[in-house]
Structure 1
Amino acid sequence: MEDKKHGEEQLCTLEKRGNLFFLTLTGAGEHRLNPNLISSLRSALSRLQSDPSASSSSALITTAQGNFFSNGFDLDWAQSSELRLQLMSSSLRSLVHDLICLPMPTIAAVTGHASAAGMMLALSHDYVVMRRDRGFLYMSEMDIGLVVTNWFMVLMRSKIGDPRARREAVMRAAKLTAEDGVRMGIVDSAHDGVEATVAAAVELGEALVARKWDGHVYGENLRVVLREVLEAVGYDEAVEEVADKARSKL
């Protein structure tokens, strides 16, 4: 269950261990979000959805190799063309929709830096566990001169209840450690090192699986809880049409 095509770089892997699925962003790079990486992640999630066991007592853990969970959008690639920016944005929105609508709990095991869109990728999971001794959650838009995307803020409001915490993250572009994240209600738990962080994600995943919830019911309830996020993401035929048009012109 691995996402790799002949002659192409392997960008992510998906494997199943017991009742847990592990989605891993591979390699030692920054895991910048561009259409290739996003497409690989969506393909992996599609294969997960098609697994007969995915709707019954399962959980997904997403993590990344190297020093970065994801350093955000691949801006060097995107800013050379408005169509590229549209394609990248619509692709990420579709990925967020896919994650939210999975029929199982999802856990981001953040063992490195998660910046801007990379932080949004982490927050698109139901739970976030984070490495204490390396890595920041960082909304970099103020520092690099970009306006925050509306759906980013809708997602942040759904996950961060304290307006002061949102102000710290967005308007001060604070580089938040795992301990900061726990204090602000962004991170569920902080751990020392990669192994301990992933182990905590596994422990949480196994505890959730042990509840033996119906995956379809879980997914439908999460859609209700995050209805505003799904509306802001705007996942519908129009979003896919924008992406298709952008792809055809590149």
Structure 2
Amino acid sequence: MKEKNIDNSARIDGELIVDGSCRIGANSILMGKVELGKNVIIANNTVIYGPVKIGSATYIGDNTVIGHPTRKQLKKFITTNEMQDFLVSNGCTIGKESIVRAGCIIYANSQIGDQVEFGHTVMVREQTEIGNSSTIGTNTIIEGFSKIGSNVSVQSAVFIPLFSTVEDNVFLGPNCKLTNDKYVDRKEYELKGPTIKKMASIGANAVIMPDIIVGEGAIVGAGAVVTKNIPPNTIYMGVPAKLFKDVPDDWNKK
């Protein structure tokens, strides 16, 4: 018999560790081992591929997918048609007091910290880490094998490719794009995403080219195309981006 806070239409196909304070909505499917902290809410039509652990007081919105199988898992499943091939992974963890809004997809082998907030329809690919108290805006894509620090503000429709690093207290403006393929798939190249050092700010619609380092506390203006490393505490603007001036002392974050 199901707990009273688990909708009768929800399907539990595996081991569920939960107490009576959690809620699981209509038509949700939980597979493999799923561990929910106290007061977790799983809304309607959500699919969770275990092993997954979700911290206390976290909200998972409608039509989300948590622990989505990786490409490697999917290709193996197509070959074997064995459900366990979906579930062989290092799992996915979402910390306490986080909000994952409707339509988000978080892949297996991802680690999401405490008090992280997602907009709608965010995609986080495998082997991604997101630190505590970060915000990931609506329609953002994080392609995987990347690390996002703590207290990071990622605005809507940002693209972060494979092998990128975004350190603590960074701001990424809406529609800015980080890239990792210097030769746009025209010749062999080891993919290398940018590194955005702590306290840096990237303006709306800026483009950061592969393997670029944006220095600590630097600012990139809206619409800039960054083709060279940017020194700490400087402002770069334009196409290609060039030095405008140093960051004024009273602009520095506390």
Give the TM-score normalised by structure 2: 0.22
**Is the strand fraction higher in 1 or 2?**
2
Q: Which has the larger radius of gyration?
A: 2
Q: Which has the higher contact order (CA 8 A, sep 6+)?
A: 1
More helix by percentage: 1
